[in-house]
């Protein structure tokens, strides 16, 4: 059974837009996902607002457009799910020091080419940046995510991409010594400490008897 976590309750621990998008689905480390936050296009819009990809006015326009064109919205959501799978496969491989599958890399390359074809080159602080500003383009939510993934692949720091030891979450380890093991000490870290504590007590009782 898949557990649902509402978008507004989802922890944002990835440190990168693409990793946070991969983390909208989770489960046990190395296992199949059994936690889901995106059930449809409107959840995708809500997540985009949560992480700052778009503001509320653009979100309202997208939701209205999606309700007028439900088949287009469903197809767009399926493409977003496929992108999420690719991002997870690529960066989970990197986190485990394994080469990402060639087909996933090729698709991510094509995604980035498509994203940039829809982008504007706009003035930003200290230079220029790619931006996306087509408020009724249902696919537009994917482009900043794709670009974040491609930028992380090409500019890094890939050596900082880690997989949580207690769940499927991915994150950038921003600690000075690169020692972070958990997506969150308040969640997976605390559970791991509790398991070790219980194991030590059990071992101590066994030795005593």
Question: Mind listing the domains of the chain with CATH numbers?
Answer: 3-178 (1.10.3300)
183-195 pLDDT per residue, tens: 875 668 455 444 4
d(CA 30, CA 166): 10
Q: For the whole prediction, is pTM greater than 0.85?
A: yes
Would you give the DSSP letter of residue 101? P
**What tokens appear for 12 in the block?**
């944002």
CA-to-CA dists, residue 144 to 63, 132, 148, 176, angstroms: 18, 7, 6, 28
User: What per-residue confidence (pLDDT) applies to 204?
Assistant: 43
d(CA 112, CA 148): 9
The region of weakest confidence among 20-24, 148-152, 193-197 is: 193-197
The pairing of strands 161-163 and 170-172 is antiparallel
CB 60: neighbour CB atoms within 10 A? Answer: 14
- Specify the DSSP element, H or E, that contains 113: helix 102-117
d(CA 200, CA 115): 52
d(CA 69, CA 72): 5
User: What per-residue confidence (pLDDT) applies to 196?
Assistant: 38
Beta-sheet strand order (sheet of 3-4): 3-4, 35-36, 25-26
Binned at pLDDT 50, 70 and 90, residue 71 comes out as very high
Alpha helix segments (H runs only) across 118-181: 142-155
């Amino acid at each position: 059974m898949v557990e649902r976590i509402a978008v507004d309750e989802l922890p944002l621990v990835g440190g990168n837009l693409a990793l946070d998008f991969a983390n909208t689905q989770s489960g046990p480390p190395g296992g199949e996902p059994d936690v889901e936050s995106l059930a449809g296009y409107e959840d995708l819009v809500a997540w985009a607002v949560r992480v700052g990809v778009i503001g509320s006015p653009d979100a309202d326009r997208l939701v209205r457009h999606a309700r007028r064109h439900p088949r287009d919205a469903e197809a767009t959501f399926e493409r977003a799910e496929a992108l999420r799978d690719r991002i997870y496969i690529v960066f989970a491989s990197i986190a485990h020091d394994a080469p990402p599958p060639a087909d996933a890399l090729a698709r991510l390359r094509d995604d980035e080419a498509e994203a940039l074809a829809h982008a504007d080159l706009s003035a930003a602080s200290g230079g220029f940046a790619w931006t996306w500003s087509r408020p009724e383009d249902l696919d537009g939510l994917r482009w900043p995510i794709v670009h974040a993934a491609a930028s992380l692949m090409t500019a890094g720091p890939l050596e900082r991409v880690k997989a949580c030891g207690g769940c499927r979450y991915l994150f950038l380890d921003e600690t000075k010594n690169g020692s972070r093991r958990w997506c969150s000490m308040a969640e997976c870290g605390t559970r791991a400490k509790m398991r070790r504590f219980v194991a030590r007590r059990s071992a101590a009782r066994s030795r005593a008897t």
